[in-house]
Amino acid sequence: MTRELDARIEELRARRSGTLRKTEAELSEMQAELERQMTAFRKEVAAEANRIGGVMQVTGRRVVAAEKRQAKLEADLAILGEESGLLLRRHKRLGLGILLGSVLLGSTFISLALWGPPFWPY
């Protein structure tokens, strides 16, 4: 009985670890994509500025559009950082709850195995 419970606990831990690794991989993938977009954007701005004749000669409208786009990308990156923290905390709490529930359930079965079922008054 104890081996089964230990096996179940290990299975739940492995599943939790797998979920965390998958979440971390997805988040790092998303961060890498945002970094690629920001790099491409910076290259676009530099190429456009060089084509016109220098960084300072880019028209005001393009500068405003570029700043808006960069601000949006930076905001997306900040939101992604917050969401990654929330996801990691949620998965940590979920794993702790599963582990605690497994321990409580296991201790109930162990106490039943050691002392037997309770004697009812009827």
What pTM value is reported for the model?
Answer: 0.37
Tell me: the pLDDT tens digits for 94-104? 777 777 778 87
Structural domain includes residue 78: yes
Question: Under a CB-based contact definition with an 8 Å cutoff, are residues 2 and 70 in contact?
Answer: no
- The answer to whether position 107 is within a domain reads yes
pLDDT score, position 121: 60
Using CA atoms, how far residue 106 sits from 15, 16, 101, 114, in Å, is: 19, 19, 8, 12
117: in domain: no
**Is there a domain that residue 118 lies in?**
no
Look at the chain and report how many structural domains it folds into. Answer: 1
User: Structure tokens of 73?
Assistant: 């990308």
Query: Would residue 122 count as lying in a domain?
Result: no
More confident position, 106 or 39: 39
**Structural domain harbouring 67:** 2-112
Residue 54 confidence class, pLDDT cut points 50, 70, 90: low
